[in-house]
Structure formats: C-alpha cells, structure tokens
Amino acid sequence: MNLKAELKSYGAKLLEATAPLWLPKNVAVILMYHNVGDTLNDRNTITRRGFADQLQCLLRLGFRCLPATSLVEQVRTNSLAFGRVFAITFDDGRSGVISDALPVLREFKLESTLFVVNQFTDGRTRWFSYNKVPPSWISESESLATKGFSLEYADREMLLNWLENNQAIGGHSVNHLHLATLPDDILEAEVYGCAKYLEQQYGCKQCGFAFPYGEYNGRVVDHVKKYFTYAVSVEQSTVTAVRNHHGAVFVFPRIDPGRSVYEMLYRIRRLVSWNRAKSTV
Ligand SMILES: [Zn+2]
C-alpha cells in the first residue's frame, strides 16, 4: 500500500471509530454514483471493492438502505423512522453499474436507482470531455485530440437484467442536454419523451428524475413535475436538511461519496456539521 492509500485507510478507521461523536443518530442521505468498475479512466468511476467497502461501512454504522422512491416518500409524509438511512443512485446508465455494482448490491441485498438517458441505452461507447465549456460528449476523433474519456453504456438487455434484480430505473432526459438553456418545446420533449420511453420500454411509472449536469431552475422543475414524482440534484447535502419542509419538497440533494470509505465519511461529516451550523442560526 502506498503512503497516500495508507493515510486514507487510517483516516477511514479514525472517522468510523469516532462516528458516535460526529454522526447524528438520525440522518438520511442519498448517495450519487455514476459508475463502478476496475478501469478508473474517468473520475466518476469507483472500484467494485471501493463501492462494497463504502456500503459495508454504512451498514456497520447502523444505516438502513431504502430505495430512493421510498426514502423520498417517507420524507414527504413525515413517516421516515428515526435512525440512519441511505439510498443509492447512479446517473447516466453506464454499463459498469450492471456488470460491477449489481453483484455487490445483490450480495448485500440492497436496492438502488439508475437514472438513464434514452439515447444512451444502446450499449455504444461514447466520449466525454471535461475540458469543453460546458463539459460535454464529443466525437471519437475529438477525444483522441483532446484526451477525452471513453465511456461504456448499458444496453436494453442489461437494463432488463437490472430491473429483474429488484433495482429501479429513473429518468435522466432524452439526450442529456443543459435543460435550463432550452426553449420550452425542446425542454418538454426532453422530459416528456424520457418519461414516455421509460414507461413504454421498461414499464417504469412514477419514476424519479435526475437533472442532467445537476442543472435546473423553476421552469425545468415545472416540466419535470408533470411526469416524474421527485427529482434529485447534485447539490451536496443530507436529506435531513430538507426534512423540515416535508410535503412541498420535489428536489432532493445528494452526496457524492467519492472513491473510498475515507472520502465518503469525510464528506458526510462535513455536510452534517454544515447542517448543524445552519440549523442553529
Ligand atoms: Zn448525467
């Protein structure tokens, strides 16, 4: 183990051992992943081992895992039982979620939600660049010239396998565009088209929606509300922060757990203390 990994492992143990001091007994979080796999060619991929370690750690800390739909519903109806709760979500529909995350989810008997993009469910490879402004998908030749990332997506067969294994699917739009910048008619097509596709192709009704790039405004929310039951953003926060507004909440924050137990616990601790600070002013 190199020094950095050793320090992280020590830090993870320290954070877990001191959890009674900083982790509330009553807390809810929605984890936001993108991909699981051992080829770490982009920053949104966590190894299968890292993913399993994070889940195991949460379970050791007394967290219960709920499907995102149930967690959201219980927050809205103010019926979330006292305790530590988490939900697992994945954005985009990458193939590693089915090949590498699903075996771990099955092992732990946990349910999760995968937010898919209609146009990315054909199993094709795509290329992405963080160097573009704004970051976006690019062509293969552009990727070679600019050191873009190649990303693998799940196909229909993989998604059906996902559903057969008690996992859920949600919407992430038709083309993964920057929704807040679109005129009304195209925005409507991106959102309605996504809901219709999920119902027709996968029998999914009453789904959740993840905003592409986490971008939204009041107009985007109005469109999404017509066809989806809740939405998740990329705003980093525990759900506990929105619990007091139950009933009216449509958009739920999430936590990016990073790639290790240390990163996950460090981020949860930071957000928990922010929430505490906010609630005392
Ligand atoms: Zn996305």
Share of the chain above pLDDT 70, in %: 95
Q: How far is the CA of 175 from the centre of ligand 1 (A)?
A: 10
Whether the per-residue pLDDT at 162 is higher than 70: the answer is yes
Q: How far is the CA of 91 from the centre of ligand 1 (A)?
A: 5
- The answer to whether 187 and 215 have CB atoms below 8 angstroms apart is no
- The answer to whether 220 and 180 have CB atoms below 8 angstroms apart is yes
Q: Answer positive or negative: Cα dihedral of 234, 212, 111, 101.
A: negative
CA dihedral 261, 265, 268, 269 (to 10 degrees): -170
Q: How far is the CA of 90 from the centre of ligand 1 (A)?
A: 9
What are the residues whose beta carbons fall under 8 Å from the beta carbon of 56, sequence distance 6 or more? 108
The interaxial angle of helices 184-202 and 156-164, nearest 10 deg, is 60
**Given pLDDT bands bounded at 50, 70 and 90, which one contains residue 281?**
very low
The Cα–Cα gap between 129 and 23 comes to: 37
The more confident residue out of 240 and 25 is: 25
Mean pLDDT of the region 82-97: 96
Q: Which residue from 153, 185, 183, 188 is spatially nearest to 173, judged by alpha carbons?
A: 188
Q: How far is the CA of 33 from the centre of ligand 1 (A)?
A: 10
Q: How far is the CA of 64 from the centre of ligand 1 (A)?
A: 26
What are the residues whose beta carbons fall under 8 Å from the beta carbon of 118, sequence distance 6 or more? 173, 174, 175, 193, 194, 197
Average pLDDT, the chain: 91
Q: Give the β-pairing of 149-152 and 125-129.
A: antiparallel
Per-residue model confidence as pLDDT tens digits over 105-143: 999 999 999 999 999 998 888 888 888 887 788 888 888
Q: How far is the CA of 36 from the centre of ligand 1 (A)?
A: 15
Residue with structure tokens 């009553």?
A: 26
Per-residue model confidence as pLDDT tens digits over 166-205: 999 999 999 999 999 999 999 999 999 999 999 999 999 8
Mean pLDDT of the region 55-84: 94
The more confident residue out of 53 and 76 is: 53
Mean pLDDT of the region 137-164: 89
The Cα–Cα gap between 264 and 51 comes to: 10
Q: What is the DSSP letter of 81?
A: P
Q: How far is the CA of 32 from the centre of ligand 1 (A)?
A: 11
Strongest mean pLDDT among 79-93, 124-138, 243-257: 79-93
Q: How far is the CA of 12 from the centre of ligand 1 (A)?
A: 28
Domains annotated on the chain, with CATH:
3-275 (3.20.20.370)
